[in-house]
Amino acid sequence: MKSSFFIQQNVDKEKIIDIIQYFNQKGKLFDDRKRNKIKLFEFNEITINVKSFKIPNLFNKIIYRYFRKSKARRSFEFANKLLENKIGTPQPIAYFENFDWLGLKDSYYVSEHLNCDLTYRELVEVPNYPDRETILRQFTRFSYLLHQKGIEFLDHSPGNTLIKKENNANYSFYLVDLNRMKFHKTLDFQSRMKNLSRLTPQKEMIAIMSNEYAKLSGEDENTVFETMWKYTEDFQYGFHRKKRIKKKLKFWKK
């Protein structure tokens, strides 16, 4: 089996390699989904976060070997690009790829683990969350900064922004789940609004975000709201339609 990896300078290389080799046997499980698994490891007085990506299907094994970078490598490279642009994300440490005779077998992304106070999801699920409107407006400024820098975060969804409270009611924002991202010279208005469509189905949250985005961009507030809400409704319709189809398929399988 062939391996490919990159580890940041001034990092204990042997220790990181050992963690990857014994990923299944060691570490503390942090998140175990159908697609990916995340474990935490103690590493030189810090906690690191190791994401093991789902083993790709036959087609993607070949694609990720010869035609496209793996999700682990993209996560690592995009994290470094974000930091170059002064956008928050947990500090990237390494990525690993293992290949068999056919293509990519498994891959891992290693970063420093960030303990956050909340994610955007809490703002959706807890209407009376303390300082909710302030956080929402600061999050909108963060998203506007992303757009100004031409960064299109394709997984800009409720669980993928970690939020930390600083002093004096200021909040810091950190992007995670980075493998789907595009970097442009500029982002047009429609692309910006569509990029915010996956965050919340709540109209009052869209109203607050639209108000703040309009102040920052100079766009008409009604235009911002109507466009953002239209893309939100489109996304919600497609999301719930997929769920209904999956439910029907599961019923017929039974």
Q: Is 10 strand, coil or helix?
A: coil
Which pLDDT does position 252 carry in this prediction? 56
Distance CA 25, CA 35 (A): 19
246: tokens are 């999956």
How far apart are the C-alpha atoms of 223 and 242, rounded to whole Å? 29
| Distances from the Cα of 161 to the Cα of 36, 101, 185, angstroms | 18, 37, 23
CATH number among 3.30.200, 1.10.760, 3.40.800, 3.40.50, domain 2-112:
3.30.200
pLDDT at 31: 85
pLDDT of residue 250: 59
Q: Where are the alpha helices (DSSP H) in 1-84?
A: 13-21, 58-66, 71-84
Domain ranges of the chain: 2-112, 118-242
Note the pLDDT of residue 169: 87
* Per-residue DSSP letter, 97: E
Dump the DSSP string for 168-200.
Answer: TT-EEEEE---SSEEE-S---HHHHHHHTTTS-
Which pTM value belongs to this model? 0.92
Which residues of the chain fall short of a pLDDT of 50? Answer: none
Kindly report the CATH number that applies to the domain delimited by 118-242. 1.10.510
